[in-house]
Amino acid sequence: STNEELETMNEELHSTNDELEHLNVEQTQRSGELDRINMFLEGILGNLGVGVVVVDREKSVQVWNAASEELWGLRRDEAEGSDFLSLDVGLPTSELEEPIDLVLNGESPDEDHRLGAVTRRGRQIDCVVRVLPLDGDGGARYGAIMLMREATEAEDPTKP
């Protein structure tokens, strides 16, 4: 009977091992898919030609693209996870608190602002910032997306 119990236990272990191998293959496939999606999104964010910052409802930076790094001199790993309003960059982030709140609270579909700023190279610019909602399934508002770029000379300085 002990031998039969050991054989049964061995079969159970073999079955569990097969399940674990299957799960490992599935996880590897999903990890590969996630890597491809991340590369795709990085490619999009990197080639938009504007600074893209995504904040959650607490205004914590979730995404900080390469153009934002170039504009403000703060690396992604330094910005992500930080409170956007407390970032020490040449953009007066405190002036964006109200527009972000209006979008986060659903009081405005988007907000456009033009701010005086200083780039990481110390150059004075007029920065156009567009604040958009980040909505998920069912309309749940997860955060806000900010698109930042230098205003062109052809643009009307009174308009964002």
pLDDT tens track for 65-121: 999 999 999 999 999 999 999 999 999 999 999 999 999 999 999 999 999 999 999
Range 14-40 average pLDDT: 96
- 56 vs 29, 37, 70, 104, 155, CA distance in Å? 29, 21, 22, 9, 30
Categorize the per-residue pLDDT at 159 as very low, low, confident or very high, splitting at 50, 70 and 90.
low
131, amino acid identity: V
Helix (H) or strand (E) segment spanning residue 125: strand 124-135
